A and B are shown apart, each in its own frame.
Chain A
């Protein structure tokens, strides 16, 4: 990547990657939250004067599946790329500040996103077979698990960024 550093600083490069990782995560978070709401409290019939929340969950949940899989994988790849920099330039200073709980919750995040990654094939399968009522419970549980992991990862990523993030 040395050729790139002739045009932008190394710090800027990693900050851009972190921003891309963050933006993909925002999209993923939105998609998963919409899908979870739609699968938990489905809307039978939508009227124009229904509330914002009703409109929020009145999405065609199945249509989000492919996008969620791709976004999860993209976010994972960017996260894995940044992770090596995190190990040296973020984690060591946090260790020196003895903020162990911050490190612990971040470690938990990296473990859980791998669990989520492993779930994507079956997640995709149960959503593809939307009409099979045998998969209803599985569809709900897997989607909720992924949503929970996504929210956790997003919030913890934000906390760690606040401790030592952009430009530090």
Chain B
């Protein structure tokens, strides 16, 4: 058995099949977790730009701090969730992770676009 086999199997270079599967899942899960955190109000934190204050989780606007921003918190939630899923996929053996089709990447994002539009229905008033 070659000495470096274990090291090579755990390699995360951009050429490796492991990287490919992790990148596919990261991409798909970023969109999914982002949408979930938006629709179900699950930002990691709320930022109040008027007072430069952070609050953990979702927090409503206050008279002292002004409007809250959730976008940064949604990105944080999505990154953590997608990163966690990608790591899990990275732990799978190559023969299993290789079966994840690349198409997951774009069809997840494309399918979520109509959901995003619907989630913004508040703005589509005539």
Contacts and interface: CB of A to CB of B under 8 A. Distances in A.
Interface string B103-122: 10110011011001100101
Interface residues of A, number: 36
Interface string A103-144: 111011011101101110110111011000001011001100
Contact of B20 (A101, A119, A125): A125
A83 B19 CA distance: 32
B19 A100 contact: no
B105 A122 contact: yes
A117 B31 CA distance: 10
B125 A87 contact: no
A87 B124 contact: no
A54 B106 CA distance: 28
A138 B71 contact: no
Contacts, number: 104
Contacts of B29: 118
* Residue among B23, B24, B50, B112 facing the most chain A CB atoms (10 A cut-off): B23
Contacts of B105: 119, 122, 138, 141-142
A92 interface: yes
A159 interface: no
A161 interface: no
B78 A128 contact: no
* Residue among A107, A112, A125, A126 facing the most chain B CB atoms (10 A cut-off): A125
Contacts of B26: 118, 121-122
B123 A100 contact: yes
Nearest to A134: B102
A115 B112 CA distance: 10
A122 B122 contact: no
Give 8 nearest A-B pairs by CB, closest first: A104-B123, A118-B30, A84-B49, A121-B23, A138-B102, A122-B23, A141-B106, A100-B123
22 contacts: A83-B69, A83-B71, A85-B49, A88-B50, A103-B123, A104-B120, A104-B124, A108-B117, A111-B34, A111-B35, A111-B38, A112-B113, A112-B116, A114-B74, A114-B75, A118-B27, A118-B31, A118-B78, A119-B27, A125-B20, A128-B14, A141-B105
